[in-house]
């Protein structure tokens, strides 16, 4: 598929971000929630940091201590044979798995959707025991006049999805954990459908080692039930290993359009689309057989975790879909394609 990538890519890089502390360095800015506020495009960036480290034999990471409300520096010896450092995102010790970075959310604003003013300080930092390993991958859903931010909270006992609401991106309201461990890639539909709110979510089955997309319903956005299995990875496809919802579902004439990510057997993260029924969103009408965006450029193939394109937000303008996406867990990029292109890419599910 011919997809337009902005010549300004990456739009936002680590060098553009002021670290939250003098002794931290920013190792990634990616997976941003996106919305409009007034005449601006607003992004909530995921900013991943780690302590500055001059010792090549050590690995340092930071953990938020909710009791003292401070960050503690954790030190790991790279010589320690008991620890597994294979995945650049993880430190797996016999007693506990840690993350190699800790993320917070940072506000950025733009008039043209390309050049962003990025705040110097974090907007939302870890604040409780569910966020001691950080906040990740926000999605922003505007419902009436309130923005609902569903984001991943990581802590030693699980990966949860939490909810924050705001009307101005200045004061934020915390609503606690809305999906219990392990659950991520939660997107809230932007309006009630036949009287109920819906969310896509991605729980994990420990026993069966499955990571499918499910759909849940709610009366109030805080409590969720009637969980239904919506879609599974597909053997032999670009999304055969893992899938998860991406941007907030988009209401179009033909139904609800969801841009989701799929991971193939080589651990390559691509984006595709699925079309859900207008009034019964637990029914799939069509799904991409080929990805709409896959890692091709250097900035998508090389980075902290290479071969990743991952979207948490997009902007629709007339027939044009502007996709903001994290590239290689390192930077934020932008691509455009038309709704027509996506619809042609979809294969009806019979």
Where does this chain bind a copy of itself (CB under 8 A)? 96-97, 129-130, 156-160, 175-183, 201, 203-210, 212, 214, 216-220, 222-229, 232
d(CA 153, CA 158): 8
- C-beta of 155 vs 314, nearer to a copy of itself: 155
d(CA 208, CA 274): 24
d(CA 226, CA 220): 14
How far are the Cα atoms of 45, 229, 245, 250, 280 from residue 140, in angstroms, in the given order? 11, 23, 13, 12, 22
Shortest Å distance, C-beta 94 to a copy of itself: 11
Shortest Å distance, C-beta 74 to a copy of itself: 15
Q: What is the DSSP letter of 206?
A: T
- C-beta of 45 vs 163, nearer to a copy of itself: 163
Shortest Å distance, C-beta 56 to a copy of itself: 27
Question: 195 CB contacts (<8 Å, ≥6 apart)?
Answer: none
- C-beta of 130 vs 325, nearer to a copy of itself: 130
d(CA 36, CA 42): 6
Shortest Å distance, C-beta 280 to a copy of itself: 14
- C-beta of 232 vs 302, nearer to a copy of itself: 232
For every residue of 99-122, DSSP letters joined together read: ESSEEEEEEEEESSSSS-EE-SS-
- C-beta of 74 vs 129, nearer to a copy of itself: 129
Shortest Å distance, C-beta 130 to a copy of itself: 7
Q: Which two tokens stand for residue 190?
A: 């932007």
Shortest Å distance, C-beta 328 to a copy of itself: 21
């Amino acid at each position: 598929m011919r997809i337009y990538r902005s010549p300004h890519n990456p739009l936002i890089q680590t060098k553009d971000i002021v670290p939250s502390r003098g002794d931290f360095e920013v190792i990634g800015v990616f997976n941003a929630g996106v919305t409009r506020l007034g005449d601006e495009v607003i992004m909530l960036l995921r900013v991943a940091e780690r302590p500055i480290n001059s010792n090549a034999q050590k690995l340092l990471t930071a953990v938020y201590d909710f009791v003292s409300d401070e960050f503690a520096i954790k030190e790991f010896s790279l010589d320690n044979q008991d620890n597994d450092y294979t995945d650049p995102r993880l430190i797996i010790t016999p007693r506990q798995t840690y993350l190699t970075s800790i993320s917070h959310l940072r506000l950025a604003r733009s008039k043209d959707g390309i050049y962003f003013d990025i705040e110097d300080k974090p907007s939302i930092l870890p604040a409780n025991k569910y966020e001691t390993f950080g906040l990740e991958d926000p999605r922003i859903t505007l419902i009436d006049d309130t923005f609902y931010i569903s984001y991943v909270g990581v802590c030693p006992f699980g990966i949860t999805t939490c909810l924050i609401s705001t009307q101005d991106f200045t004061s934020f309201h915390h609503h606690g954990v809305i999906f219990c461990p392990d659950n991520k890639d939660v997107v809230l539909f932007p309006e009630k459908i036949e009287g109920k709110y819906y969310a896509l979510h991605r729980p994990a089955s420990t026993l069966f080692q499955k990571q499918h997309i499910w759909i849940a319903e709610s009366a109030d956005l805080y409590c969720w039930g009637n969980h239904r299995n919506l879609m599974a990875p597909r053997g032999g496809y670009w999304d055969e290993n893992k899938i998860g919802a991406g941007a907030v579902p988009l209401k179009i004439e033909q139904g609800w359009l969801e841009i989701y990510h799929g991971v193939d057997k080589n651990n390559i993260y691509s984006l595709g689309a699925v079309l859900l029924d207008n009034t019964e969103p637990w029914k799939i009408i069509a799904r991409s057989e080929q990805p709409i965006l896959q890692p091709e450029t250097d900035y998508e193939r090389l980075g902290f975790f290479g071969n990743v394109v991952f979207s948490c937000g997009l902007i629709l303008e007339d027939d044009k879909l502007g996709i903001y996406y994290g590239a290689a867990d390192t930077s934020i990029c932008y691509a455009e394609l038309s709704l027509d292109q996506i619809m042609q890419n979809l294969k009806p599910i019979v």
